[in-house]
Amino acid sequence: MKTVLTYGTFDLLHVGHIRLLERAKALGDYLIVGLSTDEFNAVKHKSSFLPYEQRKEILEAVKYVDKVIPESTWDQKISDVKEHRVDVFVMGDDWTGEFDFLKMHCDVVYLKRTNDISTSILKGRLR
């Protein structure tokens, strides 16, 4: 079984998120999503429209997602890769190069983002 891991806040779930999760899942058999906790978002100077537990519940309902784990720190990625026996680490291409340090532990893939949709765009429209 090939395990894939990605991370994110997944606030205001939209088609860009779904497409990213679908393409991530296609790289393996089992997709784990590291979901940023509310506390970690505060450290990153971000805020979510929805609290962690609701974002987790929504992600767990997505057919491509097999497991959701909390992302609490920047530094947990290596331990998560080891603990969950991850074969492929996936992030959006706006992070290209940022996670290459994981290449000694697993494959690292940066996927192209969906054009013209993002949580920032949605939040702007809501304002």
Reading the block at residue 110, the tokens are 């940066």
pLDDT, residue 14, reads 83
Rounded CA separation 83/105 (Å): 11
Quote the pTM value. Answer: 0.89
Q: Could you say which residues of the chain have pLDDT below 70?
A: 114-127
pLDDT, residue 15, reads 87
Taking a C-beta distance cutoff of 8 angstroms, is the pair 56, 35 a contact? Answer: yes
Catalytic residues: 44, 46
pLDDT, residue 48, reads 86
Residue 105's Cβ-count burial label (10 Å; 0-12, 13-18, 19+) is middle
